[in-house]
Structure 1
Amino acid sequence: MKRHSMHRLFFLLLPFVFVSSGFTWSSKGEEPCDTAKKVIDGISDVTPAADRSSAQKKVAKLCKEGAAADYLKGVDLEAAREVEDAISAYRSALKKDPSLPDAHGRLGLLLLQTGKREEGSVELFRAVRQKKSPLYAKALGGLFLKGKLYSLALESFKEGMPALKEDVALFNGMGRGYLGLADTAKAGEMFSEALRLDAANEVAHLGLAQVCEQEKKYKEAVSHLRSALAMTPDNRESHYRLGQLLEKMGETAEAEKEFGAAGVARNASPPDHLDLAARYSASGAYDRAAAEYDAALLQNPQMPGIREKLGDARMAAGHDLEAIAAFEDAMQRKEGSDRTCYKLGILNERKGDLDEAVTRFEEAIRLNNGNGDARRHLAEIHGLRGNVQEAIDEYRELIRRHGENPLNYFKLARLLEKKRDYKGATDAYLKAIALDADNIEAHREVARLYLRKKDPAEAEKHLREVLRLKPDDSAVRASLVSILLKQRRFDETTLLLEEEAKLTPANPESHYRLATIYAYRQKDDAAVGEFKKAVELKPDHARALNGLGKLYLKLDRQQEARDAFAAARKADPNLIMPVSFERGLDRDNPRPVVKKKAKKHPKSHPQAKRKKSAKKKRERR
């Protein structure tokens, strides 16, 4: 067989190596775009302009159209206070490379700034998973605090602590977190540290007033409240709290002044207070509503049904510990209901007291078997604690009692997987999809299960649905390509890879993959073009250079093949293919043959003895 025919045969067989090995695309060595990512590490809107400019020049040389360049553009826009444009730039960077922690972090902070709290929290969470950053940890802690997730808030604040030891807001946040967990001693330490840093800090004074009140140190609580009011004299809530404390201390006249400053009509009748409380609640003024319910109970402590409303108002205002006290008072007086138990469960869950939360949710279900919210929370806690069968039972009961909900089926499927009930899990995922055809996670998970049980046809259906809903999901696209290649469905494979190259034009791997399938299908010009694009984006892309060399060899462009193989070997000295092909090229210019020297054996070796004996025989002759 001729030399070029041999090379062509090898080239045509090469794609089947990809098929048999699962069609992986891993590469060795660091890409210029990866180096660019290191350049931008730590660059933000507060970085001096000269340093930002220097980073931009370096990145432009390394990866001009890459994610790092878009990130620096976002930083400049953020420094210029062009928030919406900065958000767009950070999004563009993350579309090209989701592994940029600072892009996630800066985007998260800007989203919070523009009121997009939920989306911002997701970006911040992604940032802190990829990189330890005091700034992002503190912001995430604040979000957890607003959500009453006190333990998580404290964890985040502690991550920021070493670098932010002079940050008053951080210590106040930790103080509020410890108050949420009913740890008044620790809360007092944190608020005191905040006051050490800023003696006129209103939040710290209010926090210490709450700590002192709970520890029944009323005089100290009054002192802190007066200090807070010196800074914000119109704070009605502080006036009301001060009035309550003064009343407990027997200073009625002073208390009346404070209640007046708070806008609470002390001479009103209990029904008037309830009417005002309802109006305040309707308008979202929950602190004032709570004050009116308090005033009504001061006048008539035996008034039924008010403590639960008081608890609702305090809970809505964010005063969880006071809300728990009101709800528990209602339960002791036999005024509570399954709803009261449910809310006590929620508040204890927020506090991190899961045992008490479970007790309250179970009590709510006992009082009302149809309380689906309590059952849902109970199922989630069981799942969190690893009580898988108990969680499964609760979700099944939820479905039986409250109808078919795609989220309940999805969570049930996840739990059934943990029990290795793969058929049951598959059925539950399919039920979730039947109820919500656009449930992307259910499609993704059931496709994985079908692949597990060697059913590529069903897996393909759901992978295609994921791509319909999220075309830029590279992992799902790779799984689908693998299925199609194994079935030799090359037209569809090519289409998928062409779509990928259009979606991610700055990704050299997308062009490399497309070039490989073009080469296999003997679309040589197209393959050369895609290999070249991959090399333009990543000049040391060894496998793309190798593929380009093999194509040139096939097209009898030997010098270009030689150059490509040399570049591939330089990019990755461990790559075997370029070396073997270069040796094939060198057959036209064979190297001089060097004779090997005969191997010397030691005297004791049998071969040496035989040689010695033969020599003696020759000498005797």
Structure 2
Amino acid sequence: MKIIQRKQQKLLLLAVVVVALSVIFVSSQTFRESFGWIVWRTLHSVSIATTLNKTDPALLFAIGNYYFGDGAYNTEKAEKYFKKALALDPILQGVHYQLARVYFIKGYFVRALAEINKEIELYPDFGRSHYVRGLIYGYTGQLADAETEFKAFLVWKPQSWAGNNDLAWIYFQEGKYAEARDAARAGLKIAPTNPWLLNALGVALLNLGEKKEAKDVFTQALDSSNKMNKNDWGSAYPGNNPMVYGQGFSQMKESIEENIRLLSSGDTSSI
């Protein structure tokens, strides 16, 4: 309680100082903008920071990022401040990209695609946008387009294990099991004990009829996942709600365990 009271007193004192300084420097827009940033970086007080600095899209973008995992997690607020930033500067780099990610996580795939297309149109050299567009295409069943996007991303960032993993995921859905195997192996050269890649490789091998090797790989995947925790799982899914990390981590392990069980029983029809 005392800690809360001290924080409230600190905020009140700061508010008084802000008002006083604003009166003194009312004609100094630069001062108000700079002080708004100071308030935001030190206290993360949205109301005070935006009162001081109402027209800075970069500040609004920073607030949106804060609510999209940089300090807190609230996709509604993140969307709100990304939109406010775009209203002031519709070509600010990164905002369409982040808004696309918010919409993707919410399952608004049409909106997500529109935003990421805009980001790519404005900033074609930022290759990470192709990764996001690949995810959108993958989740909407546009597999050929998803394959193209993940390949484009890997040209930009060839050392990405996640890019190889998601390319393997697309190949698998397309029935290209040899290509899925090769993509997973390419990723494992970068991250040799990665459980996502090991699981992807195991599924590809299984569908190629290489059951013994598949079981060995699944066992490696389970061993690797047993050395992880939910936060390790969450680090592979930036932008997701930390509240689902535990559930996602458990589901990944259960999937690997089920693959091993089915292989051991000889029933692989559902893998």
TM-score when scaled to structure 1?
A: 0.33
Query: In the alignment, does 2:42 pair up with 1:85?
Result: yes
Write the mapping of 1:19-38 to structure 2, written as runs, cut at 5 A. Answer: none
In the superposition, relative to structure 1, how do residues 104 and 281 fare at CA in structure 2: closer, same or farther (>3 Å)? Answer: closer
Matching residue within 89, 94, 98 for 1:131: 89
Shift of 1:201: 2.0
Shift of 1:114: 0.7
Write the mapping of 1:259-298 to structure 2, written as runs, cut at 5 A. Answer: 259-263=218-222, 284-297=249-262
Matching residue within 214, 217, 221 for 1:258: 217
Match of 1:213 in 2: 172
Match of 2:188 in 1: 229
Match of 1:163 in 2: 122
Is the CA contact 1:74–1:86 (under 8 Å) kept in the aligned structure 2? no
Greater gyration radius: 1
SS in 2 for 1:167: coil
C-alpha deviations, 1:452-504, integer Å up to 9, x for none?
Answer: xxxxxxxxxxxxxxxxxxxxxxxxxxxxxxxxxxxxxxxxxxxxxxxxxxxxx
In the superposition, relative to structure 1, how do residues 202 and 302 fare at CA in structure 2: closer, same or farther (>3 Å)? Answer: closer
AA aligned to 2:145 is: K
Is the CA contact 2:36–2:48 (under 8 Å) kept in the aligned structure 1? no
Matching residue within 52, 59, 63 for 2:27: 63
Query: In the alignment, does 2:50 pair up with 1:94?
Result: yes
Matching residue within 56, 77, 102 for 1:143: 102
In the superposition, relative to structure 1, how do residues 152 and 86 fare at CA in structure 2: closer, same or farther (>3 Å)? Answer: farther
Shift of 1:105: 1.6
Match of 1:110 in 2: 66
C-alpha deviations, 1:390-438, integer Å up to 9, x for none?
Answer: xxxxxxxxxxxxxxxxxxxxxxxxxxxxxxxxxxxxxxxxxxxxxxxxx
AA aligned to 2:168 is: A
Write the mapping of 1:198-597 to structure 2, written as runs, cut at 5 A. Answer: 198-263=157-222, 284-297=249-262, 299=265
Whole-angstrom distance in 1 between the partners of 2:84 and 2:190: 38
Is the CA contact 2:154–2:163 (under 8 Å) kept in the aligned structure 1? yes
Is the CA contact 1:141–1:154 (under 8 Å) kept in the aligned structure 2? yes
Q: RCO (CA 8 Å, sep 6+): is it higher in 1 or 2?
A: 2
AA aligned to 1:203 is: A
In the superposition, relative to structure 1, how do residues 224 and 123 fare at CA in structure 2: closer, same or farther (>3 Å)? Answer: same
SS in 2 for 1:285: helix
Match of 1:153 in 2: 112
Whole-angstrom distance in 2 between the partners of 1:104 and 1:91: 11
Shift of 1:204: 1.8
AA aligned to 2:134 is: G
Moved more, 112-121 or 236-245: 112-121
In the superposition, relative to structure 1, how do residues 84 and 102 fare at CA in structure 2: closer, same or farther (>3 Å)? Answer: closer
Shift of 1:181: 0.8
Shift of 1:285: 2.0
Shift of 1:170: 1.2
Shift of 1:147: 2.5
Shift of 1:199: 2.0
C-alpha deviations, 1:583-609, integer Å up to 9, x for none?
Answer: xxxxxxxxxxxxxxxxxxxxxxxxxxx
Whole-angstrom distance in 2 between the partners of 1:101 and 1:178: 30
Match of 2:79 in 1: 121
Shift of 1:198: 2.1
Whole-angstrom distance in 2 between the partners of 1:71 and 1:289: 51
In the superposition, relative to structure 1, how do residues 102 and 283 fare at CA in structure 2: closer, same or farther (>3 Å)? Answer: closer
Shift of 1:215: 1.4
In the superposition, relative to structure 1, how do residues 156 and 170 fare at CA in structure 2: closer, same or farther (>3 Å)? Answer: same
C-alpha deviations, 1:127-161, integer Å up to 9, x for none?
Answer: 22443123111112122222332222221111211
Whole-angstrom distance in 2 between the partners of 1:172 and 1:282: 24
Is the CA contact 2:150–2:163 (under 8 Å) kept in the aligned structure 1? yes
Whole-angstrom distance in 2 between the partners of 1:96 and 1:130: 16
Match of 1:72 in 2: 34
5+ long unaligned stretches in structure 2: 1-23, 224-244
Whole-angstrom distance in 2 between the partners of 1:128 and 1:232: 37
AA aligned to 1:71 is: E
5+ long unaligned stretches in structure 1: 1-59, 265-279, 308-325, 327-621
Shift of 1:297: 5.0
In percent, how many aligned pairs have the same letter?
18
SS in 2 for 1:162: helix
Query: In the alignment, does 2:141 pair up with 1:182?
Result: yes
Whole-angstrom distance in 2 between the partners of 1:302 and 1:61: 73
Whole-angstrom distance in 2 between the partners of 1:256 and 1:224: 19
Is the CA contact 2:112–2:136 (under 8 Å) kept in the aligned structure 1? yes
Whole-angstrom distance in 1 between the partners of 2:98 and 2:79: 9
Match of 1:387 in 2: none
AA aligned to 2:222 is: G
Whole-angstrom distance in 1 between the partners of 2:246 and 2:162: 24
Shift of 1:258: 0.3
Shift of 1:222: 0.6
SS in 1 for 2:145: helix
SS in 2 for 1:134: coil
Is the CA contact 1:243–1:255 (under 8 Å) kept in the aligned structure 2? yes
SS in 2 for 1:71: helix
In the superposition, relative to structure 1, how do residues 252 and 302 fare at CA in structure 2: closer, same or farther (>3 Å)? Answer: closer
Whole-angstrom distance in 2 between the partners of 1:62 and 1:293: 66
